Structure 1
């Protein structure tokens, strides 16, 4: 491990992040909301700190190892969340405590979408824009962006890429060069954002709301510029646009790239993870709509609109809302919330355990049943025509086991802070799955929960965003041995 190389890269990344303070500063000047100084201070502190980390180590050159990639990724996301909170701390509107500012920053960057704020409609426009921008940066991962545009990372960039991209099959690259891979991902990400913003604008949003909501939609984040979220617009067209882009952004960006490169839409149908994802969403939507009408919750087309939107929003871990699904009857609130544990596809901006892991677990379960019937037979797990190695299968089960154990530990920790069972259970699930909305006392916002609970949830957001092992590996004594 090279401490000096890590500090040099961390400094460069922090300077890069400081540039993201410029757009909200411009927004503050355009709308004269008097909040430009909050971002000026944030930018200055980020630049100075980054320079102090970079300059003394500017000549440090060494190929990054896998271990270095883990350290840089965890350090940068931690530092990024802290420095991203500076505008919230400096600004007098909203007037947030240090804990609340950090919570809001981490929630944005991890695309969780949980908020401590209320009265968002009346906040300064620069703050409202900044929240949306944080989600957009976190959606694809600013580390991947850095790999794409900072040639100073050199050939070691693969170590950053592997620790940042979600999913069990991290070694697959779309192009021979890692920088080209990262650029390909970001080209797709930016193009989707632009198309989404234009669609929102054509559907009736003003340019400010269209850009802001496109940031959060393509990032599968869930932050909105209004307390009422998408319900503020009361537009079926806007809701369906949002549904479409939530689904598209929850599909693997690697698959999008393959379709674009081959110019064949059949690539989607041939992908087993995509087929399972669409089938799962379709079944969830159907059950939701049927239940809403069967229980008399809705009696017109509004039930179809709200059923489709909420089922897709929660299942993809987006967290937008057009209705309070927590008040829906019967098993619906719990069923939708549990769907977020499945989450989006691997290699997407979404959260959850990822569709491919759930699919592999199901296939392995079926294999074990077949082994009971035919104990001497040899059965292999396949995804399409690809045979899944035992190493990947074991890693999936390991992830699933650790995921559940961490969930239980953090649930007990939240209960110890005084939260009720429903609130604690849903808050941990929401943070760990990067969903946002919860049940009970956190169904609207997280402002009223204890300070200790907020820090536990910040850790849960990080664990969910970096898929647990990226962080847990740092606590292993073997990791630090030479």
Structure 2
């Protein structure tokens, strides 16, 4: 391990992140909510800590290894969680556990919360909550790779560890810094258009920007306790559906469509087609169920609530306009299943990801065919391209680790006092980066024990880092030379 370079990089990233407190200072002064000292203190502490870590290794020039990249990404999410929690501890006087939980939930775009009465919070604190989701959505480390190419350390190692999915090693541009800048440009443009849409639909500018941060990042934090249900506006919900789906789409497709000025990449990519089909099928099942059960009086009412909740759950955003956990019959089970599928690889969404589910289904069909034709030699194709056995093994390994992690965390939550429904709901909410759960954590984690919250932090990190990046650190072979 290149410990001096890792420390130097942590310092540079902290210096970069400290700048994110400046907008909150401006919000505090503009709204005169009295919190500017809190954010100034947070800014100074993070800046000085970053300088302390960065300064000793400022003349070091060496390349990070793959092992270094995994360690930096994992530890920096923990550091972000601690630094981002400062305003919650200093301003809202949350205890250490609650502040860390809220901060990690924001950065990992989970959206689970321990805070009550959001409508009464100072605007600067609300802005901070929304902003940490937006920064976490694309990844602060990818941002650092984009704008700090002269750090003297290898950006590709960080990008490989941070970017998710099977296509994580594909670069949209020849240089990794250009790739990261392209990602952030698209991310910014989506956020800008989303904010303008919300604003035009009737939100005030503060709420429009805050909810745009959360929507495109598929995070789910809101500035109101009632989430988007506060507005009870079908136009706002329609805008949210569009940008939630866009945020959970592979950003490489957005890049290709923008560069070619055509919608063709969305039509030809197999994962995207499967993603839209899953959304359509899930919406159909939920809407028809709600209508025939009589949960809502009209078909349009059922369609409005069903389509929004399916989009929110599938993309792991977690916005709410209705208490889906209380919907009758099989509907909550359908939504839970969608939360495990999640969005596309290379997006801000959580879950297993559509392409992995698609490949697992193709693997299952191949094995069934082998039972009938044992001598047949079959390949698994994604579109017209065959998928290598190495990738298929990786997908199967990911799925096994994902399931085992869920079972272990569910058992651990039950061991510290939750019933089965609440324990599974807490794991679903955190590992899938969903936010709302079931049972005792259907709307908030405020009332559960500190042990459950720390298990939730672990689940959020596992989900955000896509299992491998975090669990590899617990493998003894990783630490051997």
* Contact residue 62 and residue 152 of structure 2 kept, 8 A: no
Aligned partner of 1:150 in structure 2 is 148
| 1:172 aligned counterpart, secondary structure | coil
* Contact residue 12 and residue 51 of structure 2 kept, 8 A: yes
Distance of 1:221 and 1:339 partners within structure 2: 16
Which structure 2 residues correspond to residues 51-62 of structure 1 after superposition, within 5 A?
51-62=51-62
| 2:459 aligned counterpart, secondary structure | helix
Distance of 1:377 and 1:156 partners within structure 2: 44
* Contact residue 194 and residue 243 of structure 2 kept, 8 A: yes
1:204 to 175, 190, 202: 202
Aligned partner of 2:441 in structure 1 is 442
| 1:387 aligned counterpart, secondary structure | strand
Distance of 1:299 and 1:416 partners within structure 2: 42
1:387 is displaced (CA, Å) by 1.3
Aligned partner of 1:245 in structure 2 is 243
* Contact residue 423 and residue 440 of structure 1 kept, 8 A: yes
Deviations 1:254-306 (A, max 9, x none): 11111112222121111000000000000000000100011011112222111
How many residues align? The count is 480
Deviations 1:316-337 (A, max 9, x none): 1000011111111101112102
1:292 to 274, 282, 290: 290
1:420 is displaced (CA, Å) by 1.1
* Contact residue 61 and residue 152 of structure 2 kept, 8 A: no
Distance of 1:224 and 1:376 partners within structure 2: 56
Distance of 2:314 and 2:72 partners within structure 1: 31
Aligned partner of 1:102 in structure 2 is 100
**Aligned Cα root-mean-square deviation (Å):** 0.9
Aligned partner of 2:216 in structure 1 is 218
Which structure 2 residues correspond to residues 381-396 of structure 1 after superposition, within 5 A?
381-396=380-395
Which structure 2 residues correspond to residues 36-185 of structure 1 after superposition, within 5 A?
36-91=36-91, 94-154=92-152, 156-185=154-183
Aligned partner of 1:187 in structure 2 is 185
1:393 is displaced (CA, Å) by 0.2
| 2:150 aligned counterpart, secondary structure | helix
* Contact residue 425 and residue 442 of structure 2 kept, 8 A: no
Distance of 1:110 and 1:337 partners within structure 2: 19
Deviations 1:194-217 (A, max 9, x none): 000000000000000000000000
Aligned partner of 1:342 in structure 2 is 341
Aligned partner of 2:233 in structure 1 is 235
Distance of 2:78 and 2:150 partners within structure 1: 22
1:469 is displaced (CA, Å) by 0.9
TM-score (norm 2): 0.99
Aligned partner of 1:416 in structure 2 is 415
1:154 is displaced (CA, Å) by 4.5
1:361 is displaced (CA, Å) by 0.3
TM-score (norm 1): 0.98
Deviations 1:69-117 (A, max 9, x none): 11111111110111110110111xx331110000000000000000001
Runs of 4+ that moved beyond 3 A: none
Distance of 1:332 and 1:282 partners within structure 2: 15
Unaligned runs of 5+ in 2: none
Which structure 2 residues correspond to residues 351-362 of structure 1 after superposition, within 5 A?
351-362=350-361
Distance of 1:316 and 1:48 partners within structure 2: 37
| 1:304 aligned counterpart, secondary structure | helix
| 2:144 aligned counterpart, secondary structure | helix
* Contact residue 38 and residue 88 of structure 1 kept, 8 A: no
| 1:151 aligned counterpart, secondary structure | coil
1:169 is displaced (CA, Å) by 2.4
